[in-house]
Structure 1
Amino acid sequence: MLKAFKYRLKPTTQQAELFAKTFGCVRKVYNLMLHDRIESYKKHQDTGEKIKFPTPAQYKHEFLFLKEVDSLALANAQLHLNAAYRQFFQQPASGFPQWKSRKHPVQSYTTNNQHGTIAIKEGRYLKLPKTEPVRIKLHRQPQGVIKSATISLTACGKYFVSLLCEMNIPPKPKTGSVIGIDLGLTNFAISSDGVKIPNPRTLSKTAVTLAKAQRKLSRRAQHAKKDGRPLSESRNYQKQRILIAKLHEKVSNQRNDFLNKLSTDLINNHDVISVESLNVKGLVRNHKLARSLHDVSWSSFISKLTYKAAWYGKQVVQVERWFPSSQLCSACGHRGGKKALRIREWNCPSCGIHHDRDLNASLNIRAEGLRLLQGAETL
């Protein structure tokens, strides 16, 4: 199994400069390779010429500064571009590979461990290629064999490293429990055993503070423009920009903390977890619900459940999005038709049982998940 361990880095000024150079070189090589592949494809369409797949090495003669940074970081840029193309051809809805911008709030690069080029030294430093050991905040020891390291710079100016390690993860003890989960907005999750988990609404709680901070940022941008100063040289603007980035980072950290704790608790206590596969991209087209849907992060929650289940020997069954979980009676199976969102409780016209809409849906999702699981086992 592969598992990542994330740590905070405290680079010196010289190390931060090298990181900045590497971010820029990786971005440059990625864009050059993307441009050349697009041009090669156009020539292929016009003349039938074979499509060429460029490599980072061919640019080092023209751009000598590429030799100053880690060559494995440039090689990983090629792998990331190939992966982006693969994803585009397999899932066209994901979109064509995009250009990398220096204005993106998060900059990063990945390098591989070859014969100990990435290692923890003295419990306080991280050895990386092309640089002196970097100070690391080692709040826990990485386990297994380090395969690669991804160094990133956030919008707040913080440096992090994610160490990808290959390790043996022991499975969690079996509990014999099967559960169905219906995801919602009022309550984040409603389980088939009757537990309702409230939606933390992390973004909504900070919305007023964020709105005030962003208005202040806009005013400072206008003052800088009026004085003829570029925003990069406006200290007050940059201070406010970092303040807003910290607010967004706090919201993101709170959301991830909630999702990690909830997903880990479900994996610990249940062997089979059945969830609904939701079309979030289609749902956010409803502008009245888009902000709340982005805040609730259903896709991230399902992703965390899936990889943790693979780690610990549990199973996550995703029920197709068209399954009528809210229309079926969990007691007799009668299909009562589509219901408006405002209807939270209803009585089955066939057997007369009173249903809570969300609890009934979770029971139906559990039953459908078991049916899919049994069908897969018989194949």
Structure 2
Amino acid sequence: MRTQTRVYKLQLNEEQKRLFIELCGYRRWAWNHALDIWNDMYEVRRLMADYTEKVKIVKEAAKTHDEVRRVIREIDRNSPGAKANPSPSWQRVRNELNSDKETDAWRLAYPAHLANLAVQDLGNAWKNFFDKAQPNWGKPKYKSRKAPRQGFKSDQSKIEGQILKLECPQGRKDWPLGRIRLNEPVLSDDFSVISYFTEAGNYYAAIPFQVEDIKQPAKTGKATAVDVNVGHFDYTEGRVNVLPKRLDKIYKKIKHYQRQLARKRIQNGKAAYNSKNYLKTRAKLQACYRKAGNIQNDLIQKFTTELVRDYDMIVIENLSVKGMLMSHVASKGVHRSMFGKFKQILTYKCDWYSKELILANKLYPSTQRCAACGNVKKGDDKITLYGNKKHGTKHNEYVCYNKKCPNYNKVVDRDKNAMLSLLALAEHPELNKAL
């Protein structure tokens, strides 16, 4: 069994839209209040009298991770302060949140599981934050009502045909969200927690289905490499443009709307956020972003499907996208080219279709290495975003100065050379290291 998530557009009337927004606000309230409780419990735990002694003992006695856990459990077992103020967990935070009698009255109007799922997601967020194997996870933050995307989750929804039934609050009969029509038939009857969200005035449901094993394509015995660049991806069959010309008009509109919003904020300050013209302009901006994202998502989905269908082994660069976004030279182009999303989609599709995905070492010099002779440029010979000043070459030109190379003193396309250099890792995995 495999999990596939499909996003369906919901067809809601005005009353259903109003209640949908209220449920989004209810989850946001549960998340923010649970985060308050979590921070308070952590602070009390940190300020306990025996906390300093605990840290001292652990540092002196513990040498391995198992010893750290053993020492902390032993101190917790013998410390009355630790028993009275246990460390925060999503179950304890949930119980504390549900024990607030002042909020019981109005919370009865909403499904009970929505708040519990919000607290459980908060616990997972803290777990990922403290997991050293996932260094990119940030500290959980408060949810804002001004965020362009709002949503909630439900694990009690049901599907009958093309009708989605959201969990009804206990004791309520007139529940408008008891019948929601989907824009197309569902993939399967076996599904798990559904994520509902709204963005740019539209309403969606992301439904993860449990489906049978996908039919595997025939083995081709071929390998390819993909060199990702700003605006285009190069592979053995040619080049794919991920920033087509039809996006230019959309990005011009985005630039225009951004300037309008900035001008309104400068002139009116915080009062601009309550202006109807400001909200209309922001809605237009969000619609343009969504249209551009849909176009690029369609291109990347088709390209990755072609790769896993035609090749058994695919080599790509393991780029540090966050580091590249710190550069002012090509940060906007890197963001628009969707490097991270391409890697994410290709990874799960290779897993689905049992294809081998090879990630090049982050320090592997695919751009500086000659694909014909293996010579690596160093020092003043290196190619930069501006080309090479010493030899007067452009940024898209690669010239090998090894006299024994068949491409000696010849100008070749830098991106094609980098792609062929990556392709060499398919036959010679021992080269997948910093040279």
TM-score past 0.5 threshold: yes
Name the amino acid aligned to 2:12: P
**Is it true that 1:143 corresponds to 2:211 in the alignment?**
no
1:89-108 to 2 correspondence within 5 Å?
89-90=130-131, 91-108=134-151
Return 214-223 or 102-111, whichever deviates more.
214-223
**Is it true that 1:250 corresponds to 2:251 in the alignment?**
no
- Matched length: 363
**Residue 229 to residue 101, structure 1, CA distance change in 2 (3 Å):** closer
**Residue 272 to residue 144, structure 1, CA distance change in 2 (3 Å):** farther
Name the amino acid aligned to 2:330: L
Q: Percent identity?
A: 25
CA distance in 2, matches of 1:143, 1:83: 27
1:285-364 to 2 correspondence within 5 Å?
285-337=326-378, 338-341=382-385, 342=387, 343=395, 344-349=397-402, 350-353=404-407, 354=410, 355-364=412-421
| C-alpha distance after superposition, 1:343-366 (max 9, x if no partner) | 422134131414432122112212
SS in 1 for 2:226: strand
TM-score with structure 1 length normalisation?
0.87
Q: Which of these residues, 178, 181, 196, is aligned with residue 132 of structure 1?
A: 178
Task: For residue 374 of structure 1, report the CA deviation from its aligned partner.
Answer: 12
TM-score with structure 2 length normalisation?
0.77
CA distance in 1, matches of 2:328, 2:18: 42
Q: Tell me if the contact between 1:203 and 1:251 (Cα under 8 Å) persists in the aligned partners.
A: yes
Equivalent residue for 1:367? 424
Equivalent residue for 1:119? 159
Equivalent residue for 2:115? 74
**Residue 51 to residue 229, structure 1, CA distance change in 2 (3 Å):** closer
Equivalent residue for 1:153? 198
Equivalent residue for 1:165? 209
Equivalent residue for 2:103? 63
Equivalent residue for 1:51? 87
| C-alpha distance after superposition, 1:238-283 (max 9, x if no partner) | 2222112111111111111111111111111111111000011111
Q: Tell me if the contact between 1:181 and 1:362 (Cα under 8 Å) persists in the aligned partners.
A: yes
CA distance in 1, matches of 2:20, 2:93: 22
Return 246-255 or 61-70, whichever deviates more.
61-70
SS in 2 for 1:42: helix
| C-alpha distance after superposition, 1:224-247 (max 9, x if no partner) | x49x96743x33332222112111
CA distance in 1, matches of 2:97, 2:400: 69
CA distance in 1, matches of 2:430, 2:310: 19
Q: Which runs of 5+ in 2 are unaligned?
A: 52-81, 169-176, 388-394
CA distance in 1, matches of 2:431, 2:123: 37
Q: Which runs of 5+ in 1 are unaligned?
A: none
Task: For residue 318 of structure 1, report the CA deviation from its aligned partner.
Answer: 0.9
Equivalent residue for 2:79? none
Return 175-184 or 79-88, whichever deviates more.
79-88
Task: For residue 18 of structure 1, report the CA deviation from its aligned partner.
Answer: 2.4
CA distance in 2, matches of 1:194, 1:167: 33
SS in 1 for 2:42: helix
CA distance in 2, matches of 1:203, 1:84: 35
Equivalent residue for 1:23? 24
CA distance in 2, matches of 1:76, 1:161: 16
**Is it true that 1:215 corresponds to 2:216 in the alignment?**
no
Q: Tell me if the contact between 1:148 and 1:165 (Cα under 8 Å) persists in the aligned partners.
A: no
CA distance in 2, matches of 1:69, 1:3: 29
Rg larger in 1 or in 2?
2
Q: Tell me if the contact between 1:148 and 1:164 (Cα under 8 Å) persists in the aligned partners.
A: yes
**Is it true that 1:174 corresponds to 2:214 in the alignment?**
no
CA distance in 2, matches of 1:278, 1:318: 9
Task: For residue 99 of structure 1, report the CA deviation from its aligned partner.
Answer: 0.9
Q: Which of these residues, 227, 241, 264, is aligned with residue 282 of structure 2?
A: 241
| C-alpha distance after superposition, 1:295-336 (max 9, x if no partner) | 001010010000111112212111111001122222222223
